[in-house]
Structure formats: structure tokens, C-alpha cells
Amino acid sequence: QLQLVESGGGLVQPGGSLRLSCVASGFSLDNYVIGWFRQAPGKGREAFLCITSSGLSTTYGDSVEGRFITSRDNAMNTVYLQMASLRPEDTAVYYCAAVPSRYGCYEHWNEYDVWGQGTQVTVSS
């Protein structure tokens, strides 16, 4: 089966850092775009980053600008999300999602075919 397995979430204090991993199983990430989404309780699913098959990233909105970086290691079939300067408002379930590359990046959740299971990130003192 095609799947993405996420790990790395947890509880972190404000100002702290966390690194999420998104590992593809059953397929190669080489030709896939990876989107990052998050969903806080009672809120919609928010796109905040995307990375193309060639490693070019796009940030959506201003909420994570300068704080979150996504990268990929195709040899390891893994995409990473490095989160720094975390804030309480970053608390959410974080998802990675994949879709075969057609053009640049994709912002909307319904563009993606394969989803990670989600990992909880809680930023609290």
C-alpha cells in the first residue's frame, strides 16, 4: 500500500524546536510533491508548506515564515519538517501529504493522494 508514516511530534515549550519526519512506504518520493498541513481543534486543515520533487519549497501565508523549513532526502525516501521558535498557536495535528508532480506546488488538501496519519505537536509551558 502507498502510505506516509509521520513521526517526531510531541510536547515542546514555546521557543523550542521540533523535527518531523515523513517517510514514504510503497512508493518512491522522487517524483512527488509533498505538502504540509496542520489542523487545530475546531479549525480547518491549513496548508503552510509545500516542497516540489526537485526540492523547491513554497510557504503559504505568514504564520510559519522564517520558522519552518521543509527538506527532502530522496535517497531515504523521507521529507523533513524542521520547526523552530515554536509558539502556542502552532499547536495542531500535523500532516504530510503526497501527490505525483504535475506542476510546482499544490496548496489545497484535495490535490493530494496519499496522507500521513498525522502527528500531534503541542506547544505549551
SS3 41: coil
C-alpha cell at 92: 495542531
> pLDDT tens digits, residue range 5-40?
999 999 999 999 999 999 999 999 999 999 999 999
Q: Which tens digit of pLDDT belongs to each residue from 100-121?
A: 998 889 999 999 999 999 999 9
Q: To the nearest whole number, what is the mean pLDDT of the chain?
A: 96
Its sign, for the CA torsion 105, 109, 113, 114, is positive
Tell me, what's the pLDDT at 26?
94
| pLDDT on residue 1 | 87
User: Measured between alpha carbons, how far is 12 from 31 in angstroms, rounded to an integer?
Assistant: 33
Confidence of residue 89 (pLDDT cuts 50, 70, 90): very high
Percentage of residues in the chain having pLDDT higher than 90: 96
User: What element of type H or E holds 57?
Assistant: strand 57-59
Q: How far is CA 38 from CA 30, 35, 75, in A?
A: 23, 10, 26
